[in-house]
Amino acid sequence: MQNNRASIFAPFDALIGFREALKIVERQVEDKKDLSEDIFDSLNKKICQLKKGDYVTINYFFIDEYIETSGYIKKIDIVNKMIYLLNTKISFEDILNIS
């Protein structure tokens, strides 16, 4: 009887998913960094050396934060300035680092 009574007053999550939604809202927003000429030139040289099938790790700006992704290059579109990994499309302008 005592255990049953305690469970009646146990806290519960009345707003399922609310805490997760708050975590998304609370996450830090980053501004896109302006690259120096030296870094920009270095990135351009790296991009020119890349070819289809290379495995790369790219740190890039997406929506409001920098993220890192790795994968094999599916396509490099010089005209539209895009790198395509298997499931990701990255603009040259958003790239912070390539390794």
Query: In the structure encoding, which two tokens stand for residue 11, read together?
Result: 């806290």
Q: Look at 8 and 84; give whichever has higher pLDDT.
A: 84
pLDDT at 30: 79
- Domain ranges within the chain, ordered by starting residue: 2-98
What are 56's two structure tokens? 């790369």
Its pTM stands at 0.69
Q: How far apart are CA 52 and CA 96, in angstroms?
A: 20
- pLDDT on residue 7: 56
SS3 content of the chain, % helix, strand, coil (to 5): 30, 30, 35
- Residues 26 and 24: their CA atoms lie apart, in Å, by 5
Kind and range of the H or E run holding 75: strand 65-77
